[in-house]
A = this chain, B = another copy of it.
Amino acid sequence: MSVAQQFEAANAQYAASFTKGNLALPPQRKVAIVACMDARLDTARALGLEEGDAHVIRNAGGRVTDALRSIIISQQLLGTREIIIVHHTDCGMLTFTDEVIRGKVRAELGQNVDYISFLPFGDLKQSVLDDIKILKESPLVLDVPVTGYVYEVETGKIVKVE
């Protein structure tokens, strides 16, 4: 069974007891979360989200520069007024540099991706502070509360950075 087929089977169970068919489009808690795509982080379970609560934007590293399009849509069209950033311990982004992955893509795929910034980081806490600063300074983002956390994959805890 492919993973897609496993997802279909699991979804049939989810849908069988689904009771949330009347939720509104705009997030009820007026918040957008920007988190890493890491498999170990379940944003809903870890933060107590129910369906309908929050926009969940996720990418490699939970970097805000790669989330700007989504944040603008979230704020301008769907009314969110708070942003939460979640990076995490043992992140893959701590393990490479732009040069390393560009070299790998050149070797494996024969493609030059020197124009792509992969947004790795060397200091986890600083990466959260950097992303808060980028949001605070961006003229495209509303002046809303921004809180940044490090999620500990070892303990399941979020630790506030700022």
Which of B9, B20, B96 lies in contact with A40, CB distance below 8 A? B20
**Are B76 and A53 in contact (CB-based, < 8 A)?**
no
Give the number of times this chain occurs in the complex, counting copies.
2
Assembly CA distance A80 to B116 (angstroms): 20
* A46 in contact with B11 given A70-B60, A108-B76 (CB within 8 Å): yes
Q: Which single member of B10, B47, B93 contacts A10 (CB below 8 Å)?
A: B47
A133 contacts B by Cβ under 8 Å: no
8 A Cβ contacts from A85-114 to B? 90, 92-93, 95-96, 101, 104-105, 108-111, 113
Would B90 and A73 count as touching, CB distance under 8 A? no
CB distance from A122 to the nearest CB of B (A): 16
In the complex, chain B residues whose CB is within 8 Å of the CB of A6: 29, 48
Q: How far is the CB of A47 from chain B (nearest CB, A)?
A: 4
A125 to chain B, nearest CB (A): 17
Which A116-162 residues have C-beta < 8 A from chain B? 116-119, 139-140, 142, 145, 147, 153-158, 160
- Seen from chain A, the residues whose Cβ lies within 8 Å of a Cβ on chain B are 2-4, 6-15, 18, 20-21, 23, 25-32, 37-42, 44-49, 51-60, 66-70, 72-74, 76-78, 82, 84, 90, 92-93, 95-96, 101, 104-105, 108-111, 113, 116-119, 139-140, 142, 145, 147, 153-158, 160
12 pairs, A vs B, C-beta closer than 8 Å: A3-B82, A4-B84, A13-B48, A15-B155, A18-B155, A39-B56, A57-B60, A69-B118, A72-B105, A72-B118, A105-B140, A110-B139
